Amino acid sequence: MSGALYVIGTGPGNPEQMTPEARAAVDASTLFFGYAPYLDRLDLRPGQERHASDNREELARARAALDAALEGKTVCMVSGGDPGVFAMAAAVCEAIDADTARFGGVPLTIVPGISAMMAAAARLGAPLGNDFCAISLSDNLKPWNVIETRLRAAAGAGFAMAFYNPVSKARPWQLGKTFNILRETLPNSIPVVFARAVGRPDETIRTVPLSDAQPEMADMATCILIGNGYTRVIARDGQPDLVYTPRFVPEAGNG
């Protein structure tokens, strides 16, 4: 019997931000792989089996899911947010790439989801309303000097930015260094948004100018959005501030 592998994203945490397509993949599957807090977001029925694993075991998890699909199971790999953004879709592709003879024939469907930066941006207005990039600040899988090079290039080119994985116990100094690098070239007034646990009951959102941004304002559940030189903060009467980046860039400007 031929199995299949779905790779889905749950969205940032609010059940309404999980797509109907992802829910249909969950319904169709009998075996679930993923990091336990993401699996906890699913309402599984009796007979749907969970294989929770630790956050750092992505490649082994991907291989196990592909093996189960080869055995004929309909398998669902579960990420938070979108599965293609710093998540399991790439790990599954790496596992197939490393052993195409074994895994190349597994029917694979990647189901897109709402990524944290999108849910965070929607809370504020449109901070990513012009060109932007997303950078994971984790140096677990890439050297720190690559991250520094990318930060300087993005700041120099006028991109707004979304930072994922901003801090962890094992990475205590990287976010402070990141803010210092940005302060070398960006105006102090650029808004920095700390969007924590977006879409969950403990959501908090805080916007400060780059000059006041501190690493302690973020934790592992925070997505940080940085504007470009044209990003505006609009104070409104009785309504929360709007943060948005206009669609236009003046001639010869780079933000």
Binding site for ligand SAH (CB under 6 A): 9, 12-13, 79-82, 85-87, 115-116, 120, 164-166, 195-200, 220-223
3-state secondary structure of 191: strand
Burial of 67 (0-12, 13-18, 19+ CB in 10 A): middle
3-state secondary structure of 48: coil
- Kindly state the smallest distance separating residue 105's Cβ from ligand SAH, in Å: 27
- Kindly state the smallest distance separating residue 31's Cβ from ligand SAH, in Å: 21
Q: What does the alpha-carbon distance between residue 39 and residue 240 come to, in Å, rounded to a whole number?
A: 33
Residue nearest to ligand SAH (CB): 81
- Kindly state the smallest distance separating residue 187's Cβ from ligand SAH, in Å: 24
Whichever of 4 and 220 has its CB closer to ligand SAH, that residue is 220
Name the helix (H) or strand (E) containing 8: strand 4-9
Whichever of 141 and 146 has its CB closer to ligand SAH, that residue is 141
Q: What does the alpha-carbon distance between residue 26 and residue 185 come to, in Å, rounded to a whole number?
A: 46
- Kindly state the smallest distance separating residue 198's Cβ from ligand SAH, in Å: 4
Whichever of 29 and 115 has its CB closer to ligand SAH, that residue is 115
3-state secondary structure of 168: strand
Whichever of 31 and 195 has its CB closer to ligand SAH, that residue is 195
Q: What's the Cα-to-Cα distance from 60 to each of 65, 67, 112, rounded to whole Å?
A: 9, 10, 22
- Kindly state the smallest distance separating residue 225's Cβ from ligand SAH, in Å: 10
Whichever of 39 and 120 has its CB closer to ligand SAH, that residue is 120
